[in-house]
Amino acid sequence: MAAVTETLDTVQSVTQSGYKWGFETTIEMDFAPKGLSEDIIRLISTRKEEPEWMLEWRLKAYAAWLKMEEPHWARVDHPPIDYQDLHYYAAPKKRAGPKSLDEVDPELLKMYEKLGIPLKERAILAGVDPDTVEDRQVAVDAVFDSVSVATTFQATLRKAGVIFCPISEAIREHPDLVKQYLGTVVPTGDNFFAALNSAVFTDGSFVYIPKGVRCPMELSTYFRINARNTGQFERTLIIAEAGSHVSYLEGCTAPQRDENQLHAAVVELIAMDDAQIKYSTVQNWYPGDANGKGGIYNFVTKRGACRGARSKISWTQVETGSAITWKYPSCVLHGEDSVGEFYSVAVTNNHQQADTGTKMIHIGKGSRSTIISKGISAGHSNNTYRGLVRMLPGAANARNFTQCDSLLIGDQCGAHTVPYIESRNPTAKVEHEATTSKIADDQLFYCRQRGLSEEDAVSLIVNGFCKDVLKELPMEFAVEAQKLLAVSLEGSVG
């Protein structure tokens, strides 16, 4: 019998270590049955203690989704997704995962170390269960830390009148605000994935900045402790009243373990007169192994509405993870002289696929937009920029400037630029610049001759290439992002 046990142990350890981050769950979960139906949606709504109108809203989205087809226009390729084979509701009673850092894939820990993540945080990110005994010290401390930080944080925000809470809480506590704004930027039937999200989303963030308030700190999902286990269908709604300012940070540079392969988030931003929203993302979901197996499919709808005059919405993203990224953070510029910005770095390596870009819809007079996109492809990856700039008849004197630069590392990867430009106002001005370059051998040799290792040389050149975007990130994020770029491209040369 002993031999059998040993074999089982061996098999288990092999399958676990060979499948980074992708631990099979065998723990107790409060699962809804697989599949999507009206009943499942009712169950979600009940479990979340939602009001009746919310349930109706979800059901409407579900009805729309049923009539829609999965889009296939993006330059990404994946096996068919069986939407009836997914769990749409799972309330974890106890989180699945390693019991201490000793059980975590050393490769993953090595990456955390390279990224300079403190030990305590590494445990949380690796999914070490804080309730388990073996590593109680580390995990519990980390949780206590988060709680105390989060508490101080909440007190400061409350004083300023800012609401920052999970969206499920907002639906219960601030129903009027949610009802007034939810789905007004991304309607329930906007697209296949947005409709799916609207029907089944289980969590996300809600932010409300009152009139004239400058949010006293950068809001980060990282500090919202109950958001640590990011959901599969996240929903975020940010409302900035007239004259208010907010900077929101989403994501984390560390690759987070997640059992869910399909992610379909929706983010809606609303800026009133003179309001400014800065939304920064660092996305580093598990990209799959070197052969492209596993990995997260990230189908995201992000859109901001500049409703007020002189309002401004700025998207900054650094995308290094996911097997597939399908994401177009956009701005609808209703307000006169409103401003939309999109700064993006998208890195693909190995077999990753990214189809990302933005839409700038100019409606208001004198509205302006800037698009700076930096795509970096390495390995066998494909990286597509897809953008739309639309000048509607009312957008007199509107302006757009677009710059799309692609950098290729190696000769097995692809970079594609697909800009759409539509102008229906003769006074509107649209400029588009695009470049494609390779990291040249002579650049690498020059750096190495000065003493830099090949990897440091690539990192230096790539960071130089991305500088225009990285400088838009909040300081701390920018430093992390630089390290992340280096780690993501390790081994891409030579």
Residues of this chain that bind other proteins (CB under 8 A): 440-443, 445-454, 456, 460-461, 463-468
Question: Is residue 168 within 8 Å of residue 48, measured between CB atoms?
Answer: yes
Given the complex with other proteins, which of 326 and 465 has the nearer CB atom? 465
Rg (CA), the chain: 23
**DSSP string for residues in 128-159:** --TT-STTHHHHHHHHHHHHHHHHHHHHHHHH
Question: Is residue 170 within 8 Å of residue 205, measured between CB atoms?
Answer: no
Question: Is residue 312 within 8 Å of residue 276, measured between CB atoms?
Answer: yes
Angle between helices 475-488 and 106-114 (to 10 degrees): 130
Given the complex with other proteins, which of 271 and 447 has the nearer CB atom? 447
Pairing assessment for the beta strands 262-263 and 297-306 based on DSSP bridges: parallel
Q: In whole angstroms, how close is the CB of 320 to other proteins at the nearest point? A: 18
Given the complex with other proteins, which of 136 and 471 has the nearer CB atom? 471
Amino acid at 330: S
Q: In whole angstroms, how close is the CB of 410 to other proteins at the nearest point? A: 15
Given the complex with other proteins, which of 28 and 476 has the nearer CB atom? 476
Q: In whole angstroms, how close is the CB of 38 to other proteins at the nearest point? A: 53
Question: Is residue 264 classed as helix, strand or coil in its secondary structure?
Answer: coil
Q: Quote the strand ranges of 153-296, DSSP E.
A: 163-166, 205-209, 219-220, 235-240, 245-251, 262-263, 266-271, 276-283
Taking the alpha carbons at both ends of the chain, their separation in whole angstroms is 49
Given the complex with other proteins, which of 226 and 437 has the nearer CB atom? 437
Given the complex with other proteins, which of 169 and 455 has the nearer CB atom? 455
CA–CA separation, 203 vs 90, rounded Å? 12
User: Which tokens belong to 207?
Assistant: 């932010």
Q: In whole angstroms, how close is the CB of 463 to other proteins at the nearest point? A: 7
CA–CA separation, 437 vs 405, rounded Å? 8
Given the complex with other proteins, which of 417 and 482 has the nearer CB atom? 482
Residues constituting the chain: 494
Given the complex with other proteins, which of 216 and 464 has the nearer CB atom? 464
Neighbouring residues of 120: CB distance < 8 A, sequence distance ≥ 6 = 138, 141, 142, 145
Question: Is residue 229 classed as helix, strand or coil in its secondary structure?
Answer: coil
Given the complex with other proteins, which of 15 and 453 has the nearer CB atom? 453
Given the complex with other proteins, which of 454 and 490 has the nearer CB atom? 454
Q: Give the DSSP letter of residue 126.
A: T
Q: In whole angstroms, how close is the CB of 445 to other proteins at the nearest point? A: 6
Q: In whole angstroms, how close is the CB of 470 to other proteins at the nearest point? A: 10
CA–CA separation, 212 vs 285, rounded Å? 36
Q: In whole angstroms, how close is the CB of 469 to other proteins at the nearest point? A: 10
CA–CA separation, 2 vs 19, rounded Å? 26
Q: In whole angstroms, how close is the CB of 136 to other proteins at the nearest point? A: 37
Q: In whole angstroms, how close is the CB of 357 to other proteins at the nearest point? A: 21
Q: In whole angstroms, how close is the CB of 187 to other proteins at the nearest point? A: 40
Question: Is residue 465 classed as helix, strand or coil in its secondary structure?
Answer: helix
Question: Left if phi > 0, otherwise alpha if psi is -120 to 50, otherwise beta: which for 147?
Answer: alpha
User: Which tokens belong to 373?
Assistant: 């996109």
Given the complex with other proteins, which of 52 and 442 has the nearer CB atom? 442
For residue 177, the surrounding DSSP H or E stretch is helix 175-181
Q: In whole angstroms, how close is the CB of 452 to other proteins at the nearest point? A: 5
Question: Is residue 84 within 8 Å of residue 35, measured between CB atoms?
Answer: yes
